Amino acid sequence: MSKIKVMDELLANKIAAGEVVEKCVSIVKELVENSIDAKATEIKIELKEAGIREIKVIDNGIGMDRDDAILAFQRHATSKLYNVDDLFNISSLGFRGEALPSIASVSEVILKTCQSSFGTLIHIKGGHIVEDTTCEARTGTNITVSNLFYNTPARLKHLSSIYSELANISDYVNKMALSYPKVKFRLINDEKELLNTDGSGNLLKVIKAIYGLDVTKKMLSVSASNDDYQVNGYISMPEINRASRNYMTTLVNGRVIKNASLNKVINEAYSSFKEDTRYPIVVLNIITDPSLIDVNVHPSKLDIKFSNFDDLKTLIKDMITDKIKEKLLIPKIEAKEVVTIEKPVKYANLSLNLDRNMIKEKENTYGVSYQEQLTNLVNFNDNTDLEELEIEDIEAKTIENIEDANNKLPELYPVGLALGTYIVCENEKGVYLIDQHAAQERINYEKYSYLLSHPSKNTIDTIVPIVIELPMNEFLILKKNISILESLNIKLEEFGQCSFRITSHPTWFPKDNPDKIIRSIFEQIIKEEKNFNLAKFNDHLAATIACKASIKANTRITIEDMESIINQLRLCNNPFNCPHGRPVVIEFTIYELEKMFKRSI
């Protein structure tokens, strides 16, 4: 007797449900996508106990007749694909015909739908039709899913908590509302409304409904296109960021996707304007010919494959970077209502160090005074005339853009130092605070970035050769990529079985501990290995050296030093953020100051 048999349809649906129906949000996703495909302009999602007890989705779409309503619960029954060619030109959200039969096989479903003068009611429990009758005529579809996983208790036990399930559903509905601003979405849980959009087609209104007014005011409209792709949407100013990547919403032809490579590109576009551990709020819709993408690569259809993906990544990165650079990126301090404390403050109980400014001049990391370090910013190295020529090249290149720099950072006049760390400045618009370390870090970063991208042949021999020993695997990686080190004018040779001896390095390396810089270069090459990118490597190296070479906090400097920092900062391409994304300058406008002191109403 043959051991191989065709699987029972109900059993096949239960197996498929394991991929399609993972959580409550999976059901909401499939039902809402069906409503969108049915051309609904209003979609209402009602939950009981975050969907664990019941999920109801009501829409005003085109509905179904009785035959289609019954057929919809058969596996692979669909109205969206008819032949193989359609698979390469998918414009609908759903297309496989697996969702409804999979959901019905592990729950109880009541479907009410209407397309003409009378409605149809289909009641299915565990994949079996319990009732098939007529009902009231209301154009659209009303589908209720209850008793989820009642016949697969092991799956029911693995559902998350009510709060976790609700958070997942809310996040998904938010993203769908951002995808389709012309559709009115209402999300209700246990009779409490969580989201209500107006369906006017204004994406900014949807952003306001989800993220609030403060975020909406800091969103920037973006748009760009090339031969294959058109991208539009909104991105947040760098100061508006979150600790999670989840706030980066990317859409392709209206479909919400999760593509790690796209998210990485978006985040890298912000890399010079924010901290590495923070992520922007972004809503980007990518419009392209369906034939250029493949959405049939994952059961949840959350990831897709792109043609000419490199061109798309370049388009998005340039679009975001250009838009951010258009704006004046000095964060403004908004005055809040001051709460009056009636009880007198006992100052004796405060443990503030009010004498932080009275700090003797310190030496920096490399043992030279701060005034000498400022001089070195202009004169990188006094040893060679060629180095001085390089400085002139850098200064000439920067001065060409001085007018544009002046438009970015206004003229500032230093008046003192707060807490030994923040330069206090003023002008006719208000008061400014400059983080002296972050400011000089930005200045140094642009200097070293230029030197790394325009390497000279000027090197210095080590008095005592630097020997760096490595594990065999790392030694072999470096040996394979030794051309990168040579391009940086680091001269080295094999020394023993797993060691390198460095005999010379560029003159601009820090003089007292160049081995730390060389080790960081080694680590970066080993870390990236196959994915090594010289531009990213140079950027990381420039940021590392700039941080080590910059004045530290709690170091007292003179007014002349402050003026020197400000003048050099104004010549930078991006004077508003350090290489790690922290703000350099913060502005207190005259209006906000007067508002805080009750001098303005």
* CATH 3.30.1540.20 boundaries in the chain: 353-451+552-596
Among 388, 395, 426, CA closest to 585: 426
End-to-end CA distance of the chain: 91
In this prediction, residue 212 carries a pLDDT of: 82
Among 306, 319, 321, CA closest to 255: 306
Task: Using the Cα atoms of residue 56, residue 59, residue 63 and residue 68 in order, give the sign of their dihedral.
Answer: negative
d(CA 366, CA 561): 18
In this prediction, residue 222 carries a pLDDT of: 92
Among 300, 211, 214, 223, CA closest to 248: 211
What CATH number was assigned to the domain covering residues 218-326? 3.30.230.10
* CATH 3.30.1370.100 boundaries in the chain: 459-506+511-548
In this prediction, residue 57 carries a pLDDT of: 93
Q: Which CATH architecture group holds 9-196?
A: 2-Layer Sandwich (3.30)
d(CA 466, CA 270): 37
In this prediction, residue 358 carries a pLDDT of: 35
Successive 10-residue mean pLDDT values, the chain, 601 residues = 60 52 84 89 92 91 85 67 50 60 85 85 85 84 87 69 83 90 92 90 89 86 91 89 83 84 87 78 89 66 77 91 75 52 35 34 37 40 38 43 55 87 88 88 84 74 78 75 79 81 77 72 72 70 76 83 87 83 85 81 61
What's the CATH superfamily of 353-451+552-596?
MutL, C-terminal domain, dimerisation subdomain (3.30.1540.20)
With a threshold of 0.85, does the pTM exceed it? Answer: no
In this prediction, residue 361 carries a pLDDT of: 37
d(CA 259, CA 393): 42
In this prediction, residue 390 carries a pLDDT of: 45
The number of residues in the chain equals: 601
Tell which CATH classification among 3.30.1370.100, 3.30.465.10, 1.10.10.10, 2.40.110.10 matches the domain 459-506+511-548: 3.30.1370.100
Q: Which helix (H) or strand (E) holds 493?
A: strand 491-494
* CATH 3.30.565.10 boundaries in the chain: 9-196
Task: Using the Cα atoms of residue 313, residue 317, residue 323 and residue 326 in order, give the sign of their dihedral.
Answer: negative
3-state class (DSSP) for residue 279? strand
